[in-house]
Structure 1
Amino acid sequence: MEKAKISSSQLFILMILFELGSALLVPLAIKAKQDAWLAILLGMLGSFVLFLVYHKLYTYYPTLLPTEYMQKILGKMMGTVLAFVYILYFMYDASRVLRDFGEMLLTFSYPDTPLFIANALLMLVIIYTVRKGIEVIARSGELLFIFMYILAVAGFILIVSSGLIDVTNLKPVLEEGLLPPLKIALSETLYFPFTEAIVFTMILPYLNNPKKVKVTMICATGLSGINLAITMLINISVLGVDLTARSQFPLLSTVQTIQVADFLERLDVFFMLAMVIGIFFKVCMLFYAAVIGAANLFKIKSPSRLSYPLGIVILFLSITIASNFQEHLHEGLYAAKFALHIPLFTIIPPLLLLVAFFKKRKKQRE
């Protein structure tokens, strides 16, 4: 681990930027139709339970990275294998979010630019930032968080003042009962974007006030969930359910409809700036977790040495991960969920906590 410390407010900001990240891009929970906002909030509430599990593991080993305490809990061999799986997952998820960025940039304004070039430009900035360490990432987050929220508030005011919102698009509420949004919450929104924040277990040992971890994580996730729910409410009320479901980037389509007094229009660039900020921090956190995790696991004294090789792997993986954007989305929503999200987020952490709990009791008895 590098000799660095971050505050609880910096952790709060990084978590919000991470969870908003690429989730603002896609039609989140749209299978729940006009109840998508409710499915997001239910997924957020479900993630609180898992965050308590992650936090409890942290309280057992407050100074150790997960790559270390997995070996203490499961033994050297099994712990090393599991830690390596999580590092691979962080790299895979970083490549997926990087692909989201490239696809958005090409769709929005650079249709003739190769995907590799778009992804490589962002990856170079991320590698540079990660080499500087967690304190620099956290300070950058504080600065850009304010800018992102100014854009969000300005966009909301402009959408309302344009008279675009049609509340009838949100009716009827719970048309088929509570079961459909609950299903979507348990199968989609619980994993993306909320419990993806398991990556922050790699950052918790850097916190200068460990007592505030639980409150910070829950408050950050709560604010992110409310923001995402409001975003989907606006998308559906402006575009309608069908158009939101068909749109690759519904928030972009919503922003493009803004027209105030035949003067303020084509404000897509504001959307792009907010998206670039969110995606930058999401890839940054995943990449940083992979770098320090790999350095810790393989006993490399200088983690920054790994940033270039791992960064190049993530860059090439983002290109080869899928042949087109639709395949990329399908893989993220279905294949990755069953193969990675369910076991890594909801099954393995509670099992680790159970073993750690019994080991601690045994030690206390002895």
Structure 2
Amino acid sequence: MSGKPLSSRQLAFMVFFLLPGSSLVYFAGMAARQDAWLAAGIAVFSGLGMLYVIMQVHSLFPGKNITQICPLVLGKVPGTILNILFFWSLFILTLSLIYDLTSVLKIIYPLFPTLLLIALIILTSSYCLFKGLQSIGILADVSIGVCLFFILLSFILFIPLMDLAKLAPVLENWKPLMAGVIYSADFPFNEVVILALFLPTVHDLASRGRIIYYWYLISALFLVLFDLQLVAVLGPGLAQLYTFPLFELFRLAGFGDFQRLEMLFFLLWFITGLFAILIYFQGLIFVTRDILGLKQDRALILPVGLCLLVFSYVMFPTEIIYLELGFKYTPVYTFPVNVLYPLIVLVAALIYRKRRSGYQSEQEVTPG
């Protein structure tokens, strides 16, 4: 891919879509019960730290993404091994995102076969990727206003339903709180590590890169408020009991005789969910290209999409299996990989640049 098709504003909007698209279906900090909103608030700093780390890595090697930098600073063999581990983490999270959006679509279209819905999601995503990153950036520009409208409207609708007494007692037990923090950090806040693959495609990152932090914080604030409202309306027990607690929250809201608002807010779920899949799908294409040493990546879209289709259908045949894998086992792998991978690359990159600078200094002072 030649050129830099994205602006900092467009990438910032993609960050805004990524976080809710990963967590609007399920209750992010459910392990913390009534402290779920607090756990999510603490976990925000984990994602913010990861965002800072990948920005620092990119500043050391502008024009290269993290999977190109990794073998450069660590060596080809260990760098490739780390890239493969990173690829598998992204692959698992992509499968989770596809399953989440499929679950929402099953509510709206219960008679559609699951395989058909997964195929439609992947084909739609593949078409968007074939159109190029610039088209995805323009789509982000067009969609941001709609999503902001629906998010702000939802907050207004939920306020009359809130009972702040359900938030008590605060900090009753630190162990559930820490579990909620770790899970929320892994899903969705640390998912911003995927942006390390997109930074080289941004043409004004040096001058306007801060806007990415701003929109990350705006999106994170919305998620914390969503968690707070979920607990304040449903209570920690019901919030954990429902498979789709936010969907139940929309069912309770309404304007007088105007009910079934969950259908109206389906657009919000679909846009943010599809954007999250697009970002991760494209990220998988980038990583696959770099691992295989290819120059072009468009030819990888359909093969990777086919793998996602097969694995999405085979790995999660039932909701029970998905919940057990997604909430019990997946974070054990994805959390350390998504945290340690960029940190290892950053430390190695700093050492690499220091050694290179020292070598160049020696060359300059050595007589010809």
How would you bin the TM-score normalised by the shorter chain? Answer: over 0.9
Structure 1 runs of 4+ aligned residues shifted over 4 Å read none
Aligned pairs (5 A) from 1:9-88 = 9-88=9-88
**How far apart are residue 361 of structure 1 and its match?**
1.3
2:301 is the counterpart of 1:302:
no
Contact 2:39–2:184 under 8 Å retained in 1: yes
Aligned length: 359
Contact kept in structure 1, 2:16 and 2:219, CA below 8 Å = yes
What runs of 5+ residues in structure 2 fail to find an aligned partner?
A: 360-368
**Residue type of the alignment partner of 2:39:** A
SS of 2:353 mapped into structure 1: helix
Deviates more, 1:89-98 or 1:13-22: 89-98
User: Take 1:296 and 1:182, find their aligned partners in 2: how far apart are those partners?
Assistant: 36
2:335 aligned residue: 341
AA matched with 1:239: L
Amino acid at match of 2:55: H
- Distance in 1 between the 2:47 and 2:290 partners? 28
Residue among 168, 173, 194 paired with 1:171: 168
Rounded Cα–Cα distance in structure 2 between residues aligned with 1:294 and 1:3: 20
Amino acid at match of 2:137: A
Secondary structure of 1:240's aligned partner = helix
Closer/same/farther in 2, CA of residues 290 and 2 from structure 1, 3 Å limit: farther
Do the aligned partners of residues 39 and 270 (structure 1) sit closer, same or farther apart at CA in structure 2, a change above 3 Å counting?
same
Match of 1:358 in 2: 351
* Fraction of identical pairs, as percent: 23
Q: Is the 8 A contact 1:258 1:264 kept in 2?
A: no
Indicate the residue corresponding to 2:177 in structure 1. Answer: 181
Contact 1:42 1:182 in 2 (8 A): no
Output the TM-score relative to the length of structure 2: 0.92
1:146-165 correspondence runs (5 A): 146-160=145-159, 163-165=160-162
Question: In structure 1, the residue corresponding to 2:111 is in which secondary structure?
Answer: coil
Question: Per-residue deviation at 1:129?
Answer: 0.3
CA distance in 2, matches of 1:15, 1:80: 27
Q: Which residue of the partner structure matches residue 141 of structure 2?
A: 142
More divergent stretch after superposition (297-306 vs 94-103): 297-306
1:119 aligned partner: 118
Aligned to 1:110: 109
Q: Which residue of 1 aligns with 2:313?
A: 319
Q: CA deviation at 1:306?
A: 1.1
Q: CA deviation at 1:179?
A: 5.7
Is 2:305 the partner of 1:284? no
Q: Which residue type is aligned with residue 171 of structure 1?
A: A
- Alignment map for 1:122-271 (pairs within 5 Å): 122-160=121-159, 163-176=160-173, 180-185=176-181, 187-212=182-207, 215-261=210-256, 263-271=257-265
Is the 1:194–1:221 Cα contact (8 Å) retained in structure 2? no
- Contact between 1:22 and 1:275, CA under 8 Å: does it hold in 2? no
Q: In structure 1, what residue type is equivalent to 2:180?
A: I
How has the CA–CA distance of structure 1 residues 304 and 67 changed in structure 2, closer, same or farther, with 3 Å as cutoff? same
Aligned 8 A contact 2:186 2:334 in 1: no
Deviation, 1:272, is 1.6
Aligned-residue offset at 1:217: 3.6
- Give the structure-1-normalised TM-score: 0.93
Deviations 1:202-235 (A, max 9, x none): 0000111222576234323211221011111111
- 2:47, 2:65 → 1: CA distance? 21
SS at match of 2:265: helix
Q: Which amino acid aligns with 2:348?
A: V
Provide the C-alpha distance between the structure 2 equivalents of 1:252 and 1:90, rounded to a whole number of angstroms: 26
Q: Tell me, what secondary structure is at the counterpart of 1:62?
A: coil
Unaligned runs of 5+ in 1: none
